[in-house]
Amino acid sequence: MFKKLLIANRGEIAVRIVRACAEMGIRSVAIYTEPDRFSLHVKGADEAHFLGDEPLAGYLDPRRIVNLARETGCDAIHPGYGFLSESAEFARICSEAGIAFVGPSAEVIARMGDKTAARAAMREAGVPITPGSEGNLADRDEALTVAEQIGYPVMLKATSGGGGRGIRRCDTPDQLAQAWDRVISEATKAFGSAEVFMEKCVVDPLHIEVQVLADAHGGVIHLFERDCSIQRRNQKLIEIAPSPQLTPEQRSYVGKMAVRAAQAVNYENAGTVEFLVKDNEVFFMEMNTRVQVEHTVTEAITGVDIVREQLRIAAGERLAYRQEDVRHQGYAMQFRINAEDPKNDFLPSFGRITRYYAPGGPGVRTDTAIYTGYTIPPYFDSMCLKLIVWGMTWEETLNRGIRALNDMRLQGVKTTAPYYQEILRHPDFRGGHFDTGFVPAHPELLNYSVKRNPEAVALAIAAAIAAHAGV
C-alpha cells in the first residue's frame, strides 16, 4: 500500500480522501491556493503546500503538482473529481514520473473523454447507444443533414464536454443553426476543443448511472445504480440509490451493460457508466473516469468504501469483493447543498458562513469542507456541502431527508436546502414518479417561504446588539 499520497484537489472531496488515507495509514499531502488557506482539507492533511495567490492556476498545473509530489516523497496522487481528474495528460505525467495515478490509464481517460470515440467503443461492445452522428460534425450543414436523418429534437454536444456544459437541445432546424456557433464557442472556451457531435434527444428520460470498480487483474463489478434525474439545466441536484423506478430486470440489465462497457476498454479503478432510460429502452450516454460527487449514496446502500477501493486498486491489489458479495439495502439520497438562491434563478450566494450546524441522527451523513466563520470563495463551484440520508424504505428516506434538511443550520448565505424540502413533499416525487423533466415542469416549487427559526432570530438580534455596543 502507498505510504504517502498527494491530493490534487480541494473542498469536500479532498477532506474525504484525507479521511480515507488516515484510516489506511497513508500520510496525506494537501495543496492549496490563497482562497483555500483556511480550508478544512488544509487543516486535516498531514502536510499542506501553498501553490500561490491565483485561485485556479495551481490546481490546474499538472507538472507542478507532480513535481511537488516527488519533492515531498509521495508515491501516489488522487485527483478527486473536477480539475485534472479526467486529464489524460495528468495521468501520463504521473506515470512517467513513477507516481501512481488513482484512476484509469491515460489511454482510457482519453478514449472515454472523447464522446465520439466512447460511442464507437460501446457500439462495438454491444452496449446500446442513442442514434446520432457517426463521429464529429464537420460543419453546420452536416449537422442539419444528420438532424434531418435522425429526427428532431436533437442534442448538439461538445465532444470533450462534461458537467452539463457544451450541450444544446435543438427542436427545429432554425434552433440548430443558431446553436451551432454558441456550442462551438462554449466548447472551445471550456474544453479547448471545437469538436462537436450530435445525438437524438431522448425527451424526459430517467438519468441512470452505474458505479463500477475494476482492478488490474481482470476483476470488474458494479455497485448498482443511482438515479440522477432530479437536475436543472443538466446539473444534478438530488441523487438516489438505488432508483425507485427501475424494475429488477432493468436493474440487472444496466448493471451488466456497465460491466461490459468497463471490460470493453480495459478499465481500471472506479468509474461511472451513465445511461438514459425511457420506457423500456436503455441508451449509453457517457462514462466518467473518476470518482463521482454522488459516490456517497452507493456507499450508503452497499457498505463499500469506494475511495478505499480506489486506493487499493491503484496500489495493484485485487478487488475486495466479487459481484455476488455485493448487496444493496434500503435507499439513500444525496442533496447538493449549493450556495445559491433558487428564488433568484439560482444566482450564486458566496460569502461568509455566520453559523453552521450539521444535522445528525440515524442514517445521516454530511461531506463538507465548511464551518462557522468560513468564507465561500467565488472562484469555485457553489456546492458547500453534501447531505446524505439513508433509510430502510423509500418513505423513511424521504421523511429523514425532510427532517435532516430542516435540522441543518447554515446561515450567512442562501442555499438550495429549502427548495429540496419542497421537492421531497411533492406527491409525484414521493410516489417515485419523476424524470429529468421534473424540475422544469414544477416551477411552483420555487414559491416556498423560508420559515424563520426563533433561535436564529434571537442570535441575529444578540449579534446586532453586541456589534452596536462594540463588544
Element (H, E) at 390: strand 383-391
Query: Residue 411: how many CB atoms within 10 A of its CB?
Result: 17
Q: Is 418 helix (H, G, I), strand (E, B) or coil?
A: helix
Rounded Cα gap, residues 17 and 470, in angstroms: 42
DSSP assignment of 196-247: EEEEE--SS-EEEEEEEEE-TTS-EEEEEEEEEEEEETTEEEEEEES-TT--
Cβ atoms < 10 Å from Cβ of 470: 5
> Do 70 and 100 form a contact (C-beta atoms < 8 A)?
no
Question: 364-368 and 331-338 as β-strands: parallel, antiparallel, unpaired?
Answer: unpaired
Q: Of residues 10, 168, 290, 365, which has the active-site annotation?
A: 290
Query: What value, to the nearest 5°, has the Cα angle with vertex 28 and ends 24 and 31?
Result: 155
The pairing of strands 351-352 and 375-376 is antiparallel
Which DSSP string do the residues of 294-348 spell out, in sequence order? THHHHHHHH---HHHHHHHHHTTPPPS--GGG----SEEEEEEEESEEGGGTTEE
Q: Taking Cα atoms as reference points, which of 21, 137, 8, 139 lies closest to residue 78?
A: 8
Distance CA(107)–CA(102), nearest Å, equals: 14
Count of CA atoms in the C-beta half-sphere (13 A) of 42 = 13
- φ/ψ bin of 167: left (φ > 0), alpha (ψ from -120 to 50), beta (otherwise): beta
3-class SS shares of the chain: helix, strand, coil, % to 5: 40, 25, 35
Catalytic, 290? Answer yes
Among 29, 33, 43, 44, smallest CA distance to 76 is for 29
Task: Catalogue the active-site residues.
Answer: 290
